[in-house]
Every structure is written in structure tokens, then in C-alpha cells.
Amino acid sequence: MSTMFMICTLLFLAMAIMAPLEILAAHSHLEHGFYSESCPSAEHIVWKTVSAAVRKNPTIPAGIIRLYFHDCFVRGCDASVLLKTTFSKESTELDSFANKGLRGLDLIDKAKAKIEAVCPGIVSCADILAFAARDSTYKAGGIYYNIPSGRRDGTVSLESEVTALPPPFLDVPPMIQFFTNKSMSIKEMTALSGAHSIGFTQCSTFSNRLYTFNSSHPQDPSLDYKFAKFLKKKCPENAINTVELDVVTPYRLDNQFYKNLKKNMGVLTSDQVLASSPLTAKIVKKYIDYPEIWIKDFADAMVHLGNLDVLTGTKGEIRNKCGAVNYY
């Protein structure tokens, strides 16, 4: 075998090995239609999985949108919230009290399994969750947005980092700080809060507003009296029940949420304060008067949320299963 032939063979093998890395490097950012060639059926599979789930349970969209927010707001959209175990064996985000009751993990697992059957090792759990959140938004409110993909899955998930999520008892200024930390605006914060037009919450997240607000007012004076009476029936003291965040259109993602705030019918403190704070009140009024503006702002904010601190290119991995990192 000639020396020249051996050199050519070695160069060919090196190029073959490097090709996948070059392809990954070329996709070091999110883009629309990322899987159009590598897995063209991926988004359709997610759509069918979400649609089937919603037919059985109309509360699923709220669970998926919340799951998406809780993922992206901690380490960025890397599906870290889905991890039940990691290399470090430390407590994961799922172990945090703030993530108790998260729903939709089984739906993401189901979509992942179906995609793996036709495109193994191609589509990330992070992208599946982003697609599912978009499709849930459409199923619940007829709101569609085109979201780029190309996210890769993280290998780290820490319970201690869930403190990045804003708790439900905040006033507007500290809540703004949480969003500023993620380079998101006051308008985006107010628009995304509209996701509370669907879904429900534990009585314990707002029971202090009904029974132990402060020494001068056992009941939060910002709550409408009749609405507070209704909530007390739903949530007796120390109850472990749940209540809809929007009692008027609980399964419809719409601007009714903001109309409720204007009537002092916001269930969570962090929701109700949006209508009274000079920092957000005008935005709330605009969303009441012009629902089409809220729809656009909500869609834009969901896309921006999905761009936060993403892993692309050669960073992270494509998990085989969404609940665990890959073990090589």
C-alpha cells in the first residue's frame, strides 16, 4: 500500500468523523424547521400527542404551559425540569416544593417515545416541550406562534436553583426583578401572567388572603367580597383543595384573566397586584380593551421565553429518555 494512499485514507476517515461535529457547529443557534430533513414528522407527532391528551382532559394545556415556564425560567429551556435523576445523584428540580404538582411529564415522555421510534437520537426533549407548549397554547386559546428549534438537553438539574421561579405572593417590583434577571420586560411579565386564564392552584397558595392577611385585615381588602366568599367555600381553612385561576373561562386561554383582575377577582397575590400597580395597570387595561394586543404580546413572550439560555450545537445532549441523562 502506497504512502499516498494511506494518507488519503486517513484524511477520508478524519473527515467522516468530523462531519457530525461540523453539522452540529453549523446549527449553533435556533432556527425554524430545524428538523425538516432529519426528522420531518417530529412536530406533527407532538401535535397529535397533545391533541389526543386534550380530548381526554381539557386541563392539559395549562399543565404543559406551566411545565414549559418552569423549565425555561430556571436553567433555560434545556428540559432540566424533566430530569428525575442526574450524574450527581443530587435532588433535581422536580424535588422542589415549587414544582410539586407539575403535570404533563407523561405527555412529553409519550411524544418522545413516538419520535424515537422513527428518528432515534435526533429530537431533544427540550424541543418537544417547546412544541407541546405552542400546541397547548393553540388548543386552549386558538393562539398560534412559530417557534424555532434546535435546543439540546441539559445534564444538570438542581433543586436549589428553583428559587429562580417567582413565588405567587410577590408584589410587582420584586416580581419584575425576577423577570429582569432573565432579560424579560415588564410587558412580557404581564403578558405571560395571562397564562393564568387557565389552570388551577392549591388553596394553600392564597389562603392567607382569606384568613390571615394581617393584624388589621384578616381578609385581603383587594379581594372582591363576593369572590372571597366563593373562595372560602371552595377552600375552607387549612384545606388541601384546588381552585381555578379563572373561574369565568377556566379552560379558555383568553383575556378574561385581566377582566377578572379589574373586578378584584385575581386568585393569586402576584396576579391581583398587576391591576393596581402603576408599573403594570396600564398594560392590564390595554389587554382588557384590545385582546388582539395581548394575543400578540403573549405569543411573542412565549417565543422569547423559549430562547432563554438554550443549549445548541455541541452543548448538552439529545436524551434517549426525558427523565434521565444518557449513560455512555
Enumerate the active-site residues: 70
Cell numbers found for residue 87 = 450524574
CA 196 to chain centre: 12
Distances in Å between the Cα of 222 and the Cα atoms of 188, 225, 246, 301 are 24, 9, 16, 28
DSSP secondary structure string for all residues of 112-137? HHHHHHHSTTTS-HHHHHHHHHHHHH
- The answer to whether the CB of 235 falls within 8 A of the CB of 243 is yes
Beta strands in the chain (DSSP E): 200-202, 242-244
DSSP-derived 3-state class of residue 5: helix
Q: Are 143 and 295 in contact (CB under 8 A)?
A: yes
Of 168, 155, 140, 156, nearest to 254 by C-alpha is 140
Query: What is the spatial distance between Cα 12 and Cα 10, in angstroms, rounded to a whole number?
Result: 5
HSE toward the beta carbon, residue 187, CA cutoff 13 A = 12
Element (H, E) at 72: helix 60-72
- CA–CA dist 185, 180 (Å, integer): 6
